[in-house]
Amino acid sequence: MSDKNQSEDNQTSDKKQKTNNKTNNKPKDVKKRKNRRNKEDRVVHKIVLVIILALVVVGLIFGFSTYNYVKSSIKPLEPNSEESVAVTIPNGSSNKQIGEILENENVINSGMVFNYYTKFNNQDGFQAGEYVFSPSMSLDEIVNSLKEGESAFDQARIAVPEGYDVEEIAEEIDQQTEFSEDEFLDLMKDEDFFDELHDSYPELLDDAAEAEDVRYRLEGYLFPATYDYQPDMSLEELVEQMVATTDSTLEGHYDEIKNSDLNVQETMTVASLVEKEGVTEEDRKDIAQVFFNRTEADMPLQSDISILYALGEHKETVTYEDLEVDSPYNLYQNVGYGPGPFDNPSEDSIDAVLNPTDNDYYYFVADVSTGEVYYAETYEEHNELIDEHMDN
């Protein structure tokens, strides 16, 4: 055999050996790759499982929170509340809009839940109108009231006109509620009841608590407004509504009173006189200043309103004999403002007392036929105005 042939045989043998080596290594590489893929798959599976578990946990938490939120929203907002809330439902209001109104008025927890709750239960046909609800009511109670077009309570609305005194208010209570005039007046004289109110509204009633010779301590503090009355409401609750309204009205005036020469009782007393003596804002502010001018000059106020209150009568004409009535409320005989208010004044009259128009008048007379008020600096001028404008 030649060297060349021998060399070719050797090359062929080497190739075969290399091929055999490659063939022998191939199963090992495949196995490694397969193991690597299996490991990667297991990691991916674990990640997917963790994500799924996390989503399940989040879903459970969200579902549980949503369930609790809906469950609590269906329940009354304040189960033990005795508050009454006047609510107006406009014409054409949708379930969603009604829910928003009720939520904004603090009657229910959630307007959104109200909307879905009524839709889920096929509740519709709600009627527009005036309602009185309470935070203690459930959604079902509210829904039933809205469907029937009736207030949650068989309410009455009691109007306390501006300038009415306690006895006039008692007549209104007697006519519009189950409470009698005598029951109302007895409550006005109940010192224990006044003390309870005093504890609740000290800034309002501190001065009234110290006043002497008053006929009714709450005279002047029963704010003239329209109040909702339900059959299950006590007389004490009804009266407290009126006192609470006076307190909330005076919240914007307490600082003014502290900066004035008057206390709360005196402010309400002068305002009660101004309420009856003047009609327009301009006249009330002028009349208030007349009273201050006379007080500063140590002159009696000489208001006929005080005489009528002292007499306990409501009549058009005050006689000379009436001026002699023996009463601390008689401001013809007594200097100052008297023991306390003569009626329950409006906020306009209160504002007039706290912001009077500066003038030098000491007298005024009103033409009852026209409502025009005429002012004078001297008694002589005053008499001339009486002769000119008053009937004999």
Q: What is the pLDDT of residues 305-353, one digit of tens each?
A: 999 999 998 888 899 999 999 999 999 999 999 999 999 999 999 999 9
Percent of the chain with pLDDT over 90: 53
Q: Give CA–CA dist 386/381, Å, rounded.
A: 9
pTM over 0.85: no
Pair 329, 215: CB distance under 8 Å:
yes
Pair 345, 264: CB distance under 8 Å:
no
User: Sorting pLDDT into bands at 50, 70 and 90, what band is 156?
Assistant: low
Residue 43: give the domain boundaries. Answer: 24-74
Mark whether 339 and 295 lie in a shared domain. yes
Mark whether 368 and 271 lie in a shared domain. yes
In the structure encoding, which two tokens stand for residue 65, read together? 């929170």
Mark whether 271 and 340 lie in a shared domain. yes
Mark whether 274 and 361 lie in a shared domain. yes
Establish if 341 belongs to a structural domain. Answer: yes
CA 118 vs CA 124, 164, 335: distances in Å: 7, 45, 66
Establish if 15 belongs to a structural domain. Answer: no
List the CATH number of the domain containing 134.
3.30.1490.480
Count of positions (residues) in the chain: 392
| pLDDT at residue 117 is higher than 90 | no
pLDDT at 11: 53
Closest CA to 130 of 88, 83, 84: 88
Mark whether 222 and 277 lie in a shared domain. no
Q: Give CA–CA dist 353/348, Å, rounded.
A: 9
pLDDT at 93: 86
| pLDDT at residue 355 is higher than 90 | yes
Mark whether 270 and 385 lie in a shared domain. yes
pLDDT at 359: 96
pLDDT at 316: 82
Q: What is the mean pLDDT of residues 43-53?
A: 76
Establish if 349 belongs to a structural domain. Answer: yes
Which phi and psi angles does 320 have, rounded to 5°? -65, -35
pLDDT at 182: 97
pLDDT at 367: 80
Establish if 260 belongs to a structural domain. Answer: no
Of 121, 148, 175, the position where a domain reaches its end is: 148
Q: For the chain, how many structural domains are there in total?
A: 4
User: Sorting pLDDT into bands at 50, 70 and 90, what band is 122?
Assistant: confident
Establish if 136 belongs to a structural domain. Answer: yes
Q: What is the mean pLDDT of residues 248-263?
A: 94
Establish if 259 belongs to a structural domain. Answer: no
Q: How far is Cα of residue 265 from the mean position of the Cα atoms in its chain? A: 25
Q: Looking at 210-224, 329-343, 366-380, which range is the least confident one?
A: 366-380
Establish if 4 belongs to a structural domain. Answer: no
Q: Give CA–CA dist 384/378, Å, rounded.
A: 10
Mark whether 65 and 103 lie in a shared domain. no
Q: Looking at 73-77, 107-111, 141-145, 385-389, which range is the least confident one?
A: 73-77
Q: Looking at 152-156, 289-293, 318-322, 340-344, which range is the least confident one?
A: 152-156
pLDDT at 272: 97
Q: What is the mean pLDDT of residues 82-89?
A: 82
Mark whether 274 and 351 lie in a shared domain. yes
Closest CA to 143 of 108, 172, 193: 108
pLDDT at 150: 63
For the chain, the three-class secondary structure string (H helix, E strand, C coil) is CCHHHHHHHHHHHHHHHHHHHHHHHHHHHHHHHHHHHHHHHHHHHHHHHHHHHHHHHHHHHHHHHHHHHHHHHHCCCCCCCCCCEEEEECCCCCHHHHHHHHHHCCCCCCHHHHHHHHHHCCCCCCCCEEEEECCCCCHHHHHHHHHHCCCCCCCEEEECCCCCCHHHHHHHHHHHCCCCHHHHHHHHCCHHHHHHHHHHCHHHHHHHHHCCCCCCCCCCCCCCCEEEECCCCCHHHHHHHHHHHHHHHHCCCHHHHHCCCCCHHHHHHHHHHHHHHCCCHHHHHHHHHHHHHHHHCCCCCCCHHHHHHHHCCCCCCCCCCHHHCCCCCCCCCCCCCCCCCCCCCCHHHHHHHHCCCCCCCCEEEECCCCCCEEEECCHHHHHHHHHHHCCC
User: Sorting pLDDT into bands at 50, 70 and 90, what band is 207?
Assistant: very high
pLDDT at 366: 85
Q: Give CA–CA dist 74/182, Å, rounded.
A: 43
Q: Give CA–CA dist 89/148, Å, rounded.
A: 13
| pLDDT at residue 153 is higher than 70 | no
Of 219, 250, 281, the position where a domain reaches its end is: 250
| pLDDT at residue 173 is higher than 70 | yes
Establish if 229 belongs to a structural domain. Answer: yes
pLDDT at 50: 75
Mark whether 120 and 46 lie in a shared domain. no
For all residues of the chain together, what is the average pLDDT? 85
Which phi and psi angles does 157 have, rounded to 5°? -115, 120
Mark whether 51 and 90 lie in a shared domain. no
Of 103, 122, 148, the position where a domain reaches its end is: 148
Mark whether 167 and 98 lie in a shared domain. no
pLDDT at 69: 57
| pLDDT at residue 71 is higher than 60 | no
Q: What is the mean pLDDT of residues 34-63?
A: 72
pLDDT at 291: 97
Q: What is the pLDDT of residues 357-372, one digit of tens each?
A: 999 999 999 886 788 8
Q: Looking at 100-104, 203-207, 341-345, which range is the least confident one?
A: 100-104
Mark whether 304 and 351 lie in a shared domain. yes
